[in-house]
Amino acid sequence: MGPQSRRTFLTNSGVILTLPVFSSLLPRSAEAAEVAPSRKKFVGVFSPSGALMSQNVAGFTDNGNWTFEGALKPIVTNGLQSKVMILRGIQSPSGAVDTHWANTAGFLSCAPILLGAQRPIRCGKSFDQFVAEKNVSPVGSVHVGWKPMNRNFSGDHATYSDRYLDWISWRAPDRPNANFYSASDLGGKLFSSSMKGAKVVRSLHRSRKSVLDLVLQELGAVNRKLSTADQARLQAYTDGVRETELAITRDLASEERRAACVAPSADADADLYIRHFRTMHKMIAQALKCDLISCATIMYDDGVGDEHLLHPQATKDHHGYAHHKNEAGAQAELNVINTRHASLFTHFLQEMSVAGQMEDSLVLWGSNMSDGNLHTTDNLPMVLAGGGSDLKFGSEVGSPQRRIAKADLFLEMSELFGLGLSKFGEGEFLSTGAKLGLKL
Q: Which residues contact 251 (CB under 8 A, 6 or more apart)?
A: 205
Q: How many domains does the chain have?
A: 1
- Round to whole Å and give the CA distance between 387 and 402: 26
> CA-based diameter of the chain, in Å?
91
For residue 214, pLDDT beyond 60? yes
Least confident of 64-73, 119-128, 153-162, 394-403: 153-162
Q: Does 275 fall in a domain?
A: yes
For residues 280 and 268, the answer to whether their CB atoms sit within 8 Å is no
Confidence of residue 241 (pLDDT cuts 50, 70, 90): low
Q: Single out the residue of 368, 376, 346, 403 nearest to residue 68, CA to CA.
A: 346
Q: 275 burial class (0-12, 13-18, 19+ CB within 10 angstroms)? A: middle
Residue 385 is classified by DSSP as: E
Residue 402's beta-bridge partner residues?
399
- Beta strand 140-144 with 293-299: parallel, antiparallel or unpaired? parallel
Q: Residue 276 CB: number of other CB atoms within 10 A?
A: 22
Q: What is the mean pLDDT of residues 266-272?
A: 93
pLDDT at 59: 76
Confidence of residue 258 (pLDDT cuts 50, 70, 90): low
pLDDT at 211: 61
Least confident of 141-145, 320-324, 434-438: 320-324
Q: Does 65 fall in a domain?
A: no
Q: What is the mean pLDDT of residues 274-302?
A: 96
For residues 50 and 322, the answer to whether their CB atoms sit within 8 Å is yes
Least confident of 21-30, 147-156, 257-266, 357-366: 21-30
User: Cα 305 to chain center, whole Å?
Assistant: 21
Q: Give the domain range for residue 42.
A: 35-48+93-124+132-190+265-319+350-360+410-440
Q: What is the mean pLDDT of the chain?
A: 85
For residue 19, pLDDT beyond 50? no
Least confident of 97-111, 230-244, 252-266: 230-244
427-432-437-439 Cα dihedral, nearest 10 degrees: 90
Confidence of residue 31 (pLDDT cuts 50, 70, 90): very low
Count of all residues that appear for the chain in the document: 440
Q: Does 172 fall in a domain?
A: yes
Q: Single out the residue of 158, 99, 103, 108 nearest to residue 129, CA to CA.
A: 108
The dihedral sign for the CA sequence 242, 248, 251, 252 = negative
pLDDT at 154: 64
Q: What is the mean pLDDT of residues 303-329?
A: 83
pLDDT at 259: 72
Confidence of residue 15 (pLDDT cuts 50, 70, 90): very low
Q: Does 420 fall in a domain?
A: yes
For residue 208, pLDDT beyond 70? no
Least confident of 32-36, 42-46, 111-115: 32-36
For residue 362, pLDDT beyond 60? yes
Give the pLDDT confidence of 326-338 residue by residue, as tens digits: 999 999 999 999 9
For residue 408, pLDDT beyond 80? yes
Q: Single out the residue of 120, 102, 125, 99 nearest to residue 112, CA to CA.
A: 102
Q: Which residues contact 257 (CB under 8 A, 6 or more apart)?
A: 290, 291
pLDDT at 30: 45
pLDDT at 105: 97
Q: Single out the residue of 104, 136, 124, 128 nearest to residue 42, CA to CA.
A: 128
Q: Does 383 fall in a domain?
A: no
For residue 158, pLDDT beyond 90? no
For residues 126 and 108, the answer to whether their CB atoms sit within 8 Å is yes
Q: What is the mean pLDDT of residues 268-282?
A: 95
For residue 197, pLDDT beyond 60? no
Q: What is the mean pLDDT of residues 5-10?
A: 50
Q: 5 burial class (0-12, 13-18, 19+ CB within 10 angstroms)? A: exposed
Confidence of residue 132 (pLDDT cuts 50, 70, 90): very high
Residue 298's beta-bridge partner residues?
45, 144
Q: Does 368 fall in a domain?
A: no
Q: Does 106 fall in a domain?
A: yes
For residue 34, pLDDT beyond 80? no
Q: How many CA atoms lie within 13 A of 418 on its CB side?
A: 17
Q: What is the mean pLDDT of residues 257-265?
A: 81
For residue 428, pLDDT beyond 90? yes
Q: Single out the residue of 239, 214, 218, 42 nearest to residue 137, CA to CA.
A: 42
Q: Does 335 fall in a domain?
A: no
- Beta strand 396-397 with 84-87: parallel, antiparallel or unpaired? parallel
pTM over 0.85? The answer is no
Least confident of 96-100, 382-386, 407-411: 96-100
pLDDT at 308: 61
- Beta strand 293-299 with 41-47: parallel, antiparallel or unpaired? parallel
